[in-house]
């Protein structure tokens, strides 16, 4: 999904200005009434739409805050979901917006109970109730593993974001949560996200919502620290520190499009920190080099409590599969690493093609067992439409670098039409990564 498409979706969403102002008015009036009575009431004093609109659009008034203060700790919504640490962290800081938006379909109601939007992460919680909900849900053959399915925007695959879902049973029905990583470089600071549930606990339906979102803005630190290795480099451009997330944006410059530059990050005490997502923002060719902008998301608490990070970059070399017309005594050569795969013998037996190979290794390196077997299993044959992986028919000789593969092919197949594809890039896993100079990043 590109930025223009995203903006067009936002622009097409109608904003009911009259309804918003009416809702705000009702919210203020309810707040004043509660202030006069000198006591707090439940969130039910305001209509669900009023609460959602006021909270989602950032209109906060002192009387309304007093009304909302009576709501039970919103963090409890996230207690059943141990893996959703962002929602828990934001809830504990009072930065999750409570919602009470309900939709009904087929005797089942789904109510959105909270939402948050920090950095490029959007999360929601909801509850499902109704007489048609099963007391116990068991995954069917066509059911989603998460227990429910939903779509964003128009429901088309190109409109979706990467994310995670969870669902738990309660006394009254089910509670669920969803979290999405919005994959765009720049997103609006506040917008309305259309979302449609299409199934819950095995029951199909149509539950539509428009979720108001206002971003919790992070503290952005310009870094621009570089590590170079010849003409190749990595630049840590910025660190955005939010309440529950940390986003690092960086740029890599590599001489070969099949190579990959990665890094690990350690805090001041040497503890390694692991990201929860990584995405390419832009990749292009410049002066023969591959230039890529990346964004990586962390949720580790250590990032909020450390003053210095150490970035340890490495370059992993790779290459695309090499291919050639299949024939007796065929030799296929690696384009970068000097390897050769030689066909020593080829025999046809009905619907089976049996091929013996020898991997020539001019550097004399010893292959790890899993690397060698992965390589052998990836050697495939096929035509312009289909590739067929073979089965290793007998124990591969790791020391002699020999193996035999058996391919199941239709008896009418003409061997002259087949191509051999060799994944030499797999063998790069046996080679050491190329270390670059560390980068120190001060988080001040």
Say if CB 133 and CB 174 are below 8 A apart.
yes
Say how far apart CA 84 and CA 178 lie, in whole Å.
Answer: 9
Instruction: Return the pLDDT at 165.
Output: 82
Say how far apart CA 369 and CA 177 lie, in whole Å.
Answer: 42
Domains in the chain, please, with CATH? 3-214 (2.60.40.1630), 219-318+432-442 (2.60.40.1640), 322-422 (2.60.40)
Encode pLDDT of 89-130 as tens digits: 888 788 888 899 999 999 999 999 999 999 888 999 999 999
Instruction: Return the pLDDT at 180.
Output: 87
Say how far apart CA 351 and CA 409 lie, in whole Å.
Answer: 5
pTM above 0.75, yes or no: no
Instruction: Return the pLDDT at 2.
Output: 40
Instruction: Return the pLDDT at 423.
Output: 96
Strands lying side by side in the sheet with 190-200 = 148-152, 190-200, 203-214
Instruction: Return the pLDDT at 154.
Output: 72
Instruction: Return the pLDDT at 160.
Output: 60
In this structure, are strands 322-325 and 272-273 parallel, antiparallel, or unpaired? unpaired
Say if CB 101 and CB 47 are below 8 A apart.
no
What is the distance of C-alpha 267 from the center of its chain?
24
Instruction: Return the pLDDT at 309.
Output: 92
Instruction: Return the pLDDT at 35.
Output: 35
Instruction: Return the pLDDT at 130.
Output: 92
Q: How many CB atoms lie within 10 A of CB 205?
A: 20
Instruction: Return the pLDDT at 151.
Output: 84
**List of long-range contacts for 394-401, beta carbons under 8 Å, 24+ apart:** 396/372, 398/367, 398/369, 398/372, 400/358, 401/358, 401/359, 401/360, 401/361, 401/367, 401/372
Nearest partner of 405 among 426, 415, 386, 420, judged by Cα = 420
Instruction: Return the pLDDT at 28.
Output: 37
Which bin fits 305, alpha (ψ -120 to 50), beta or left (φ > 0)? alpha
Give me the residues of the chain with pLDDT under 50, please.
Answer: 1-7, 9-73
Say how far apart CA 182 and CA 297 lie, in whole Å.
Answer: 11
Instruction: Return the pLDDT at 441.
Output: 93
């Amino acid at each position: 999904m590109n930025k223009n498409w995203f903006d067009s979706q936002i622009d097409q969403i109608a904003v009911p200005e009259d309804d918003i102002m009416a809702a705000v008015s009702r919210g203020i009036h309810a707040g004043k009434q509660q202030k006069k009575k000198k006591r707090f009431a439940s969130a039910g004093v305001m209509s669900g739409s009023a609460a959602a609109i006021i909270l989602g659009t950032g209109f906060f008034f002192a009387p309304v805050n007093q009304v909302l203060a009576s709501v039970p700790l919103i963090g409890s919504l996230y207690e059943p979901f141990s893996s959703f640490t962002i929602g828990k962290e934001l809830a504990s800081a009072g930065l999750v917006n409570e919602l009470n938006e309900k939709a009904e379909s087929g005797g089942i109601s789904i109510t959105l109970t909270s939402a948050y939007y920090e950095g490029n992460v959007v999360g929601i919680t909801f509850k499902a109730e109704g007489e048609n909900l099963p007391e116990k849900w068991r995954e069917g053959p066509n059911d989603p593993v998460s227990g429910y399915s939903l779509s964003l925007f128009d429901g088309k695959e190109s409109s979706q974001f990467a994310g995670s879902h969870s669902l738990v049973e309660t006394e009254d029905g089910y509670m669920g949560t969803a979290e999405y990583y919005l994959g765009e470089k720049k997103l609006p600071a506040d917008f309305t996200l259309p979302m449609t549930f299409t199934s819950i606990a095995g029951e199909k339906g149509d539950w539509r919502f428009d979720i108001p979102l206002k971003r919790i803005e992070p503290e952005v630190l310009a870094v621009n620290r570089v590590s170079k290795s010849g003409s190749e480099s990595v630049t840590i451009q910025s660190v955005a520190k939010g309440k529950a997330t940390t986003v690092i944006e960086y740029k890599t410059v590599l001489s070969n499009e099949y190579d990959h530059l990665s890094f690990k990050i350690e805090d001041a005490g040497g503890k390694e920190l692991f990201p929860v997502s990584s995405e390419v923002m832009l990749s292009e060719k410049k002066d023969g080099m591959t230039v890529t902008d990346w964004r990586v998301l962390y949720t580790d608490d250590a990032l909020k409590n450390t003053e210095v990070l150490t970035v340890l970059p490495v370059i992993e070399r790779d290459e695309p599969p090499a291919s050639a017309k299949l024939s007796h005594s065929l030799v296929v050569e690696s384009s970068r690493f000097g390897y050769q795969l030689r066909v020593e013998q080829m025999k046809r037996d009905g619907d089976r093609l049996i091929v013996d190979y020898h991997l020539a290794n001019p550097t004399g390196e010893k292959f790890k067992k899993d690397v060698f077997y992965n390589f052998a299993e990836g050697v495939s044959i096929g035509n312009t439409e289909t590739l067929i992986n073979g089965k290793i028919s007998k124990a591969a000789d790791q020391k002699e670098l020999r193996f035999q593969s058996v391919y199941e092919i239709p008896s009418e197949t003409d061997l002259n039409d087949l191509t051999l594809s060799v994944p030499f890039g797999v063998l790069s896993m046996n080679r050491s990564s190329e270390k670059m100079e560390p980068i120190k990043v001060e988080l001040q």
